[in-house]
Amino acid sequence: MSEFVEALKTELESTFKEEISVFFDINPHDGLLETHDVDESLKEKLKCLVFIPIISRTYCDPKSFAWEHEFKAFIEQASQDQFGLKVKLPGGNVASRVLPVRIYDLDNPDIKLCESVLGGVLRGVEFIYAEPGVNRPLKSNDDEKTNLNKTKYINQINKVSNAIKEIITAIGQFNPEQEEVQKEVFKPISASQKNSKTTIIVGSLIALALIILGILFVPKLIKPPEQVEKSIAVLPFKNDSPDLERMYFINGTMEAILDNLCKIKDLRVPGRTSVEQYRDNPKPIPIIAKELNVSYILEGSGHRDGNNVRLIVQLLDGKKDQHIWSQTYNADIEDIFSMQSEIAQLIAGEIKAIITPIEKQLIEKPPTTSLKAYDFYQRGREEHAKYQFLSGNMSTLTKAEVLYKRALEYDSTFAQAYTGLAAIYWDKYYRKEYFSENFMDSILILTTVALSYNDQLDEAYTIRGNYYYENKQPEKAIKEFDKALNINPNSWRAYYGKGDQSEELLISLENFLKAESLNHGPELPDILTRIAEAYCDAGFIDKARYYTLEAFKLDGDSVQYFAELGYLEQKMANYEKSVEFLERSYSIDTSNLFTLFLLGEMYGFGGQVEKSLKYFKKFLTRRDAILGTEYFTEGSIYHRIGYVYWESGYMEESEYYFNKQLDECNNVIKSGRPWSQLYYTYYDIAGIYAFRGEKDKAYENLRIFNQRKVESLWMLSLIKNDPLFNNIRNEPEFQQIVRDVEAKYQAEHERVRKWLEEQGML
């Protein structure tokens, strides 16, 4: 739907002289939150000139919020304002200010219901794709030849724009007496400087917020030339050859050019994961630029025929979709590295990005002396990309591993091939080796070998940084991530790694936000969720909810969305509210592990042990069925289950789960995994001993836990309400530990608050 909005905005900008803004409400609560006063929230929001409801099969429902408080409310309000619901068009016809967009064929009862409210025939513009047995919303890449309705997406967008223009033109010819009223009300607008059309539009739309789809027209202001950010996205190149087997070469060339651009600090360049989504889902250039938040777009196409390479590249202004520069290359395969380097440097020159001498040296350095090795490397990279972007199938990892090894047969010093093997190893063996004494040592060996041959590989430093973090060496991890960013300042993975490993919330936020600015691919919802959780831990709840909603807008995963909202409420100790959101998640998907466990935990904290035990049993059954009984879930799960079994009178089962948690915590401590580095394992152990009445052991572990330098709202809420500590809750030492946790949280909250103020984000 966001594609529709962007396409409409683009069309309107080419239709009207006035600047156009389109507002679109996709709130999953249908515009209503529990804290909102409905009447006050909507009173001003519905004051718009044109109201465009998206009519789906579920829209025409008198029980829905959107129908009752938006659709009907606008019609009633527009019928009583100075313009009226229906306006007379310049040609003499009459049009409604409600312009429906239909995305499904409706049943007759729904049509009649709409018409009864509209007071006339349901007209509008259809965005419906139909084939025998198919009835769905029209997409921009649908072929009108196969569409029974014979409609084309861009033509329908044009129809909507033209309909809006007719309505606005009609309003522009409104009674001039009304114009005088507006001039009196809105004194900042000088009527003598505007034509009647503009005055009316401005007068009627100042300070309006719109719901569903509203169109806001304001006069263009004279602005100084905008500073264009030096940012570029490199779209997947097209293979001009009928030989699909050569696709890996085109993809590899595109990625090499992208990697070269990423080395330029004066440029912001989203990585391949951000642009891969447009390979099979092409969109207009301005929409892509808007979605990726970049100023420029690079397109390319080409093919390889034997040793001959042909490549066409074109640089475009992302906002205007205007050609800036293009070049056609016909070269021998021997010149592939110099061609990739030249293209990157020419593009940077066109964008006026500064390339330092060190960056130039990095860009011009060939990765290998063997073209055969490079060919196998590109093939391996392609198979690994299939695993990451498409299948998740382990067989593609095995293929990639074989191809990387073949590359090393032709060049045993090919550093990128060693780095590729390290990435493969991480994906294949991370879980299997989690408690191994030699956990991921092969990663350390492979990345170290790679860097011995080429110490300018950001990917190798990033992978090695992750290795050090997992192996209780956080200082080394940070140094590795910083080395990666020194080589590739556009590495979202390095920023994510820094944010992930830091216990300081401000550092986490800074790095997660930087990662967000560089990644618009499938990982973005996860990054947004991590930002939301960091904001919540720092005590900025509104921002946490905002980023949780942003993640939902991208992935549309309502199960995860409501579960995350429940998780945020848990962090604030709002356990009843948490359960409400979690039950909504459960009502959509009864098998989600995250939801099942949190429901068990939250009902347990609320004292409803019967319900808690029910969900914990469902969690264990589901987990064992899909993951196996030996699957390790890092964190705190078994002692929560043990507590509920105890409260339910099942002592034997309770002891089993308490002991299982102790074993797991001790294994994590022994292996030095991140959960122990943050001292959370000691908190979990202390809770079990406190519940059992072994106070000395409880305090021994709590003292270790209290060595943490930074605390979160989540930890403060937990230690204040954790039922496992009820036996010692009122004791002086425990109360002092709680005060220490609160003081650390307040200090971190203040640090984040000051930073947000400095950044103008509060």
Tell me the pLDDT band of 215, cut-offs 50, 70 and 90: very low
pLDDT tens-place string over residues 311-357: 999 999 999 999 999 999 999 999 999 999 999 999 999 999 999 99
> So what's the pLDDT on residue 455?
96
Residue-wise pLDDT tens digits, 247-300: 899 999 999 999 999 999 999 999 988 999 998 888 999 999 999 999 999 999
H/E stretch holding 599 reads helix 593-605
Q: For residue 150, is it left (φ>0), alpha (ψ between -120 and 50) or beta?
A: left
36-52 average pLDDT score: 60
Q: What is the mean pLDDT of residues 547-562?
A: 93
Q: Write the CB contacts of 40 (distance below 8 Å, at least 6 apart in sequence).
A: none
CA gap 481, 422 in Å, rounded? 16
Answer whether 215's CB lies under 8 Å from 49's CB. yes
Residue closest to 757 by CA, chosen among 517, 550, 545, 540: 540
- Checking if the pLDDT of 681 tops 60, the result is yes
Residue 488: predicted pLDDT: 95
Section 669-677 average pLDDT? 66
Judged by average pLDDT, the poorest of 288-302, 335-349, 371-385, 661-675 is 661-675
* pLDDT of 206 over the 50 cut: no
Asked whether residue 36 carries a pLDDT value surpassing 60, the answer given is: no
Q: Is the pLDDT of residue 211 over 50?
A: no
Question: What are φ and ψ of residue 240, in 5° steps?
Answer: -80, -5
- Whether 106 contacts 113, CB under 8 Å: no
Per the CB < 8 A criterion, the answer to whether 438 and 671 are in contact is: no
State phi, psi for 217 to the nearest 5 degrees.
Answer: -115, 125
Of the chain, the percentage scoring pLDDT greater than 70 comes to: 84
Side-chain half-sphere CA neighbours of 141 within 13 A: 7
Instruction: Give the Cα separation of 284 and 320 in Å (integer).
Output: 11
DSSP of 57-105, one letter per residue? TTT--TTSHHIIIIIHHHHHHHHHSSS-SEEE-TTS-EEESB--EE-SP
Short-list 501, 462, 467, CA closest to 482 = 462
Residue pair 280/235 in contact (Cβ under 8 Å)? The answer is no
Instruction: Give all domains of the chain, ordered by start, each with its CATH number.
Output: 2-218 (no CATH), 232-366 (3.40.50.10610), 369-489 (1.25.40.10), 522-756 (1.25.40.10)
Asked if pLDDT for residue 191 goes beyond 60, the answer is no
Are 200 and 173 in contact, with CB atoms under 8 Å apart? no
Mean of pLDDT values over 186-211: 35
Over the stretch 499-551, which tens digit does the pLDDT of each residue have?
998 888 999 999 999 999 999 988 999 999 999 999 999 999 999 999 999 99
pLDDT of the residue at 200: 35
Taking only the tens place, the pLDDT of each residue in 577-636 is 999 999 999 999 999 999 999 999 999 999 999 999 999 999 999 988 876 554 445 557
Q: Which residue has the tokens 């519940």?
A: 691
Q: In this predicted structure, what is the pLDDT of residue 671?
A: 73
- Cα 293 from Cα 229, distance rounded (Å): 10
Distance CA 90, CA 127 (A): 26
Distance in angstroms (rounded) separating the CA atoms of residues 333 and 352: 29
Closest CA to 561 of 537, 587, 535: 587
pLDDT tens column, 104-139 = 788 878 888 887 887 777 778 888 888 877 778 888
pLDDT at 201: 37
Mean pLDDT of the chain: 84
Q: What's the confidence (pLDDT) of residue 390?
A: 64
Contacts (Cβ under 8 Å, ≥6 apart) of 328 = 310, 311, 312
pLDDT of residue 544: 96
Distance of CA 413 to the CA centre of its chain: 38
Residue 179 has pLDDT above 50, yes or no: no
Confidence of residue 474 (pLDDT cuts 50, 70, 90): confident
Taking CA 150 as the corner, what is the angle to CA 123 and CA 213, rounded to the nearest 5 degrees?
Answer: 40
**Cα 39 from Cα 37, distance rounded (Å):** 6
Listed range (130-139, 172-181, 210-219) with the worst mean pLDDT: 210-219
Predicted pLDDT of residue 736: 98
pLDDT at 27: 46
Contacts for 472-476: CB closer than 8 Å, 24+ residues apart: 472/672, 472/673, 472/676, 472/677, 474/501, 474/677
Q: Which H, E and C letters describe 505-566, residue by residue?
A: HHHHHHHHHHHHHHCCCCCHHHHHHHHHHHHHHCCCHHHHHHHHHHHHHHHCCHHHHHHHHH
Task: Tell me the average pLDDT across 475-503.
Answer: 94
Residue 698 has pLDDT above 80, yes or no: yes
DSSP type of residue 231: B
Q: Is residue 1 predicted with pLDDT exceeding 90? A: no
Token digits of residue 531: 């930002």
38 or 663: which leads in pLDDT: 663
First to last CA, the chain: 30
- How far is residue 720's CA from residue 737's CA, in Å, rounded to a whole number? 10
- Average pLDDT of the residues in 671-698: 86
Contact assessment for residue 560 and residue 532, using Cβ atoms and an 8 Å cutoff: no
| CA separation for the pair 507, 505 (Å, rounded) | 5
pLDDT at residue 108 in the model: 78
- State which amino acid sits at residue 663: D
Identify the pLDDT of residue 391.
57
Give the residues across from 102 on adjacent strands.
55, 126
Of 591, 545, 590, nearest to 567 by C-alpha is 545
pLDDT of residue 71: 78
For residue 214, what are the CA distances in angstroms to 22, 333, 619?
6, 54, 44
The pLDDT, as a whole number, for residue 72 is: 83
Three-class secondary structure of residue 381 per DSSP: helix
CB-based burial of residue 17 (10 Å sphere; 0-12 exposed, 13-18 middle, 19+ buried)? exposed
Strand-pair category, 128-131 with 134-137: antiparallel
Q: Are 288 and 236 in contact (CB under 8 A)?
A: no
pLDDT value for 165: 79
Q: What pTM does this model have?
A: 0.68
